[in-house]
Amino acid sequence: MTLDEARGEIKRLSTELERHNRLYYVEGNSDISDSDYDIMFRSLELLEEEFPELASPNSPTRRVGGEPIEGFEQRKHFSRMLSIDDVFSEEELTDAYQRLQRLLNLNHVEVVIEPKIDGVAVALHYQRGELAFAVTRGDGVTGDDITENVRTIGNVPLRLPEEAPEWLEVRGEIFMANERFAILNQSREEEGLSTFKNPRNATAGTLKLLDSREVAKRPLEFMAHGMGRLDGVVVESILDFQQLISDFGIPVNSPIWVRDSLTGVLEVVRELGVKRRDLPYETDGAVIKVVSREQQLSLGETSRAPRWAAAFKYPPEQKETVIQDITIQVGRTGVLTPVAELDPILVSGTTVSRATLHNQDEIDRKDVRIGDAVLVEKAGEIIPAVVKVLPEKRGDGSRKYDIYEAVGGKCPSCGSEIIRIEGFVAWKCPNPDCPAKSANRIKQFVSRKALDVEGVGNIVAEKLIERGLIHEALDLFSVGVEELAQLNLGTEENPRVLGAKKAESIATALQRAKKASLNRWIYALGIPQVGESAARELSRIHENLSQLKQSEILEELKSLKTGERKEDNELLAPYGIAGEVGPTVARNVGLFFDSPEGERALERLGEIGINPASDNYAPISAIGEANGLNPIAGKTFVITGTLSSPRDQIKESIQVNGGKVSGSVSKNTDFLLAGEGGGAKRDKAESLGIKVIGEDDLKEMQASIDSAKP
Ligand code: IVH
């Protein structure tokens, strides 16, 4: 065969294979048998082997993936990939729509409403009809070039028809359909691999793989929801754009609705609220976007999000399932927590098979019994919870449950007699060396909000203790890399070692942890009642651990008389200490440092050479007593509306000065920081008589602190 003949044949085969691909993935009906497809595929492969100079990166043969790469190149976006402002109620949505009417000075603003896909955002760039590169959102300005991985996604066309424009950037979401996600997890479980928490995590994890051949085996899909750079063609609206790209065989988001009134929008959002449960993929919201490009451009965007779009978030989903059993978990502090073992069910994107029942009182109050049908929900990041029992579905087989009876009065982990301290509802294991307690302390120690030692998950922590390699968290620093690599995560009969690569990365993470800030270390120590925010507040008023151990502030807090407020105490007032740190925390910190365990911890830290320093140290002494109180310290802020810098940044600037940021307005709120929009929270704040401030006010507060610093 001559080169020209080969070129012709390669083109013919590629076009034909791509056509079948599109029929299969996009239109859902292919008119060719698997074996005929395979024969064509193989012929193309052979030709490309024979004429490598004719092999294109966008050949259908490349969909199976290629050689692994070292890492992802970074690529800058032509225009920023923005986020969307969320609205959490019909009231806020009404505000948002009315704002569009106001800003555009129009009664009828035409918008599209479509499901918000819970996946990973990506921009696909087609140059002269060929997929040139694909980039993740990253920080909005620059993202990872994941072209090799995206080529393996079956419904992403690698070549567009002749009439494709010079340059076409399509933005959209890569995701995994629920059903295919479940199958993937099931087979991973059978192979003894870790399972993914939800379809989104599975998608994100897959796209991070450096070996595209592995990516090709995962059931990823793409759906377009927006446009980026477009050369050689002009579109007047979102709908025109959708038409254009769907004619090219690019899958577009569906279902979508077009409405031009508030009532219309609200109706659709309600309708989608029901329909979304039947969608093949996870969605937690509806996206509302102005249709006309001209109107979009005139509305413009803030640093974070366009003014022409909003995302309506649905309240957490509740699902019905059955409690198969109730088991007991022994926590970090020895508390025995009853856990409902459920028939696994997908709730808000996660397969839930366990839900906390908190304690005996909760079991009695809700009258939860083994065998009961229950409603479960998973709000945000928290552990799934049993909302209520469905007593009308209760069968004869249901059994009441009593913690003490179930465990025969003994800790299920170490067998010690359990105790119940007067005035507390919880049963506790009093044994300080109980292995379950140690494992949970280690889990907290390595968790993201503590020392963030990636690679030490639940299984590794449990096995390290079970195999006697460590007894307490700080022992992690004395385990050798080789020892770690040899750690058997399986059973005696069926061993499965951690491996050198993972051991190395844990060792690196531990080295990094040595330099973690004081608040992370305080939290990592697992002092009872000292959560993440209390730890942060403690590190605001103490520079290091030895200061914390000898703290006069905490001494004073401990001796506060009942009813005496720290704001009225002469010594404490100037510090403006937040609500999270009170007498109980002070007492627990004291008890910890005086206990043999606390002493041992300090000693070990000294031996290893760890001396964590505060990175948010800003007690009153630094602000200058003369200037009075730090107006931010100890105050609770709620942020709403659109602001000039990213919310996280503003949040941090408040926290650095000792303030707290909460998500919702309540009587405990001190200030509502309101940007543009944000009507519902503003109304609530005003009705509660809470001070509403603007960005300038916040800046002024910060300036007064800065000017008072020595
Ligand atoms: S429109 C300014 N439509 O959600 C961006 N985005 O939270 C306009 N997303 O970055 C995007 N489904 O990655 C749009 N139907 C949809 C979407 C959607 C999911 C993602 C998108 C965006 C993020 C914002």
The rounded radius of gyration (Å) of the Cα atoms in the chain is: 29
Task: Provide the pairing of β-strand 691-693 with 671-674.
Answer: parallel
Rounded to whole angstroms, how far apart are CA atoms 376 and 432? Answer: 34
Rounded to whole angstroms, how far apart are CA atoms 2 and 235? Answer: 43
Burial 134-146 (b: 16+ CB within 10 A, else e): bbbbbebebbbbb
* Pocket test residue of 81, 116, 175 for ligand 1, highest count of atoms within 8 A of CB: 116
Residues 221 and 346 in one domain: no
Residues 116 and 240 in one domain: yes
Structural contact between residues 47 and 9, judged by C-beta atoms closer than 8 angstroms: yes
Inside any domain, residue 187: yes
226 C-beta closer than 6 A to ligand 1: yes
Rounded to whole angstroms, how far apart are CA atoms 205 and 543? Answer: 38
What's 632's DSSP letter? S
Residues 443 and 491 in one domain: yes
Rounded to whole angstroms, how far apart are CA atoms 286 and 291? Answer: 15
Res 708: pLDDT: 57
Closest atom of ligand 1 relative to the 172 alpha carbon: 13
Structural contact between residues 474 and 608, judged by C-beta atoms closer than 8 angstroms: yes
What is the CATH classification number for the domain harbouring 242?
Answer: 3.30.470.30
Residues 242 and 333 in one domain: no
> Whose CA is closest to atom 3 on ligand 1?
225
Res 382: pLDDT: 53
Per the residue annotation, which of 116, 289, 635, 684 is the catalytic one? 116
Burial 289-300 (b: 16+ CB within 10 A, else e): bbbbbebbeebe
Burial 624-641 (b: 16+ CB within 10 A, else e): beeeebbbbbbbbbbbbb
Residue with tokens 């307490």: 472
Distance from the alpha carbon of residue 83 to the mean position of ligand 1, in angstroms: 7
Residues 399 and 308 in one domain: no
What is the CATH classification number for the domain harbouring 603?
Answer: 1.10.150.20
Residues 466 and 400 in one domain: no
Domain end marker among 513, 539, 556: 513
Burial-class residue 488 by CB neighbours within 10 Å (0-12, 13-18, 19+): middle
Closest atom of ligand 1 relative to the 120 alpha carbon: 13
What is the token pair recorded at 553?
Answer: 């502030």
82 C-beta closer than 6 A to ligand 1: yes
Residues 44 and 114 in one domain: no
* Pocket test residue of 222, 287, 301 for ligand 1, highest count of atoms within 8 A of CB: 287
Residues 257 and 393 in one domain: no
Rounded to whole angstroms, how far apart are CA atoms 38 and 47? Answer: 14
Nearest to 358 by CA among 318, 379, 325, 328: 328
* Sequence-separated (6 or more) residues with CB below 8 Å from residue 291: 110, 111, 112, 237, 238, 239, 258
Res 702: pLDDT: 80
Residues 564 and 541 in one domain: yes
Domain end marker among 513, 544, 578: 513
Rounded to whole angstroms, how far apart are CA atoms 519 and 526? Answer: 12
Inside any domain, residue 533: yes
What is the token pair recorded at 321?
Answer: 């399932």
What is the CATH classification number for the domain harbouring 392?
Answer: 2.40.50.140
Res 166: pLDDT: 95
Res 690: pLDDT: 87
> Whose CA is closest to atom 11 on ligand 1?
226
Residues 674 and 606 in one domain: no
- Asked if 116 is an active-site residue, the reply is yes
Largest distance between two CA atoms of the chain: 96
Residues 472 and 611 in one domain: no
Burial-class residue 405 by CB neighbours within 10 Å (0-12, 13-18, 19+): exposed
SS3 per-residue string spanning 178-233: HHHHHHHHHHHHHCCCCCCCCHHHHHHHHHCCCCHHHHHCCCEEEEEEEEEEEECC
Inside any domain, residue 425: no
Rounded to whole angstroms, how far apart are CA atoms 146 and 124? Answer: 10
Res 623: pLDDT: 37
Inside any domain, residue 121: yes
What is the CATH classification number for the domain harbouring 30?
Answer: 1.10.287.610
Closest atom of ligand 1 relative to the 253 alpha carbon: 15
Burial 209-242 (b: 16+ CB within 10 A, else e): beebeebbebbbbbbbbbbbebeeeebebbebbb
Structural contact between residues 597 and 683, judged by C-beta atoms closer than 8 angstroms: no
10-residue mean pLDDT profile of the chain (710 residues): values are 92 91 78 87 93 90 87 92 92 95 96 96 96 93 94 94 94 95 87 81 94 95 96 94 95 95 97 91 93 95 90 88 95 90 84 88 94 84 79 91 96 94 87 88 90 86 89 92 92 88 93 95 92 90 95 92 81 84 93 92 94 89 45 85 84 81 87 83 86 87 68
What's 314's DSSP letter? P
Rounded to whole angstroms, how far apart are CA atoms 427 and 169? Answer: 59
Give, to the nearest 10 degrees, the angle between helix 435-446 and helix 458-466: 140
* Sequence-separated (6 or more) residues with CB below 8 Å from residue 574: 620, 625, 629
User: What is the count of structural domains for the chain?
Assistant: 6
Distance from the alpha carbon of residue 287 to the mean position of ligand 1, in angstroms: 7
Res 300: pLDDT: 92
Whether residue 255 is preceded by a cis peptide bond, meaning omega within 30 degrees of 0, is yes
Structural contact between residues 336 and 445, judged by C-beta atoms closer than 8 angstroms: no
Inside any domain, residue 21: yes
84 C-beta closer than 6 A to ligand 1: yes
Inside any domain, residue 73: no
Cα–Cα distances (Å) from 496 to 192, 488, 503, in that order, read 9, 5, 14
Res 5: pLDDT: 94
What is the token pair recorded at 11?
Answer: 């083109």
Domain end marker among 286, 313, 340: 313
What is the token pair recorded at 87?
Answer: 């609205």
547 C-beta closer than 6 A to ligand 1: no
Structural contact between residues 115 and 272, judged by C-beta atoms closer than 8 angstroms: yes
How many distinct helices (H) and strands (E) make up the chain?
26, 22
Domain that holds residue 26: 3-55
Distance of CA 132 to the CA centre of its chain: 30
Helices (H), 51-167: 90-104, 147-151
Inside any domain, residue 72: no
Distance from the alpha carbon of residue 229 to the mean position of ligand 1, in angstroms: 16
Residues 293 and 394 in one domain: no
Inside any domain, residue 70: no
The neighbouring-strand residues paired with 335 are 428
Length of the chain, please? 710
